[in-house]
Amino acid sequence: MLDTLLNFASNGLANAGWLTMVLYVLVTTQLTIFAVTLYLHRSQAHRGVDFHPVVSHFLRFWNWLGTGMITREWVAVHRKHHAHCETEQDPHSPQIIGIRKVFFEGSELYRTAAANEADLEKYGRGTPDDWMERHLYTPHPMLGIALLAVIDLALFGVIGGAIWAVQMVWIPFWAAGVVNGLAHWWGYRNFETADKATNLTPWALWCGGEELHNNHHAFPSSAKFALRRFEVDIGWVVIRGLEKVRLAKVLRVAPALDERPNVSLPDMVTLKALLTHRFEAMTEYYRMVIKPTVREQLSAEGTRRLGAMPRRRLRRALANGGRWLDKNGKTRLAAAVENRPRLKQISEYRARLAALMEQRRPESALAALQQWCHDAEASGNRKLAEFAARLKQYSVARA
């Protein structure tokens, strides 16, 4: 009897080798990642994809089993993040509360935000409210992860406790720490969004596609996160596979930017495309106008910095209107721009372009856009004129 108990404690029911246990950890943790990114994020929070009820409920069950997270709470916290990104109301912005706190205490920040009942009511609407949610998943979130602990111990014996520990820290580390933290702190950007979201890597394989965070913030409701030819979103690969066997229905993907030749005056088609692709437009303004103008200014002055502003920091500050600079940084930016007409000009035109996209009346926005293009073409700045000509061609590609 004692030998039987010791053998069970050592090997569990599976009597598995190290390779099998490693494979089990990788499969279960990746499945947890998919349950979060496909179900909680792309389907529930942003309505970019619908899954067959069998798939949907399995992913919901796996979240309960592998994370103990409640759908309504996760969705509410994430929607609030988008609604107030990089502000004091953002539940987990490293720009506001620091990268160290978000990276190492991301799960605590999530729990604090999830306890706000007013936010749950405001941002958690439309999530499941069936019998299972009311009687099992929501009132007993810890029961799922306790059940997983029992399963791991039964399969692998004492080592199952270590396996369970890895499974429990997987989402707090990769999602709450890496994605919520590093993906708003470091990486590359395809789009000049109004926040600091970045893409950590173009090959989004480890976090189910969540590494392409800047792309997601540019087009939040898109079920597909990879938006450049060199980018790979493994979550989208899974969605497309499920779609082929009729277990998923894609509702939204990021629209493509198209061009119409020989447009002499911006019209409502242009305006619609500009508003749809506002972040892409601001990115093109940065690449076509700001970067070359700064380069020419530095070349003319024979320097690599203007006053206290290094070239790279100056370009980024001009790209976002100095939004992320502190008081001293804004003072240095103003000093760098003030006595340099070309830098002042492109800064003012960028501010005008951003302002017209915020106008609520389409007629007013269109009039402002037409005036902007006219002024840019008559500005004497070749880069501005080229961008205006490009902007007038904007249209939304047909799906």
Mean pLDDT of 70-78: 98
Of the pLDDT bands very low, low, confident and very high (cuts 50, 70, 90), residue 4 is low
Number of neighbouring beta carbons within 10 Å of residue 384: 24
How far apart are the C-alpha atoms of 204 and 30, rounded to whole Å?
A: 13
Mean pLDDT of 291-306: 91
Lowest mean pLDDT among 14-28, 101-115, 303-317: 303-317
Of the pLDDT bands very low, low, confident and very high (cuts 50, 70, 90), residue 9 is low
Mean pLDDT of 194-222: 95
Mean pLDDT of 83-110: 94
User: Over 70: is that where the pLDDT of 2 sits?
Assistant: no
What proportion of the chain, given as a percentage, has pLDDT over 70? 97
Of the pLDDT bands very low, low, confident and very high (cuts 50, 70, 90), residue 398 is confident
Give the global pTM. Answer: 0.93
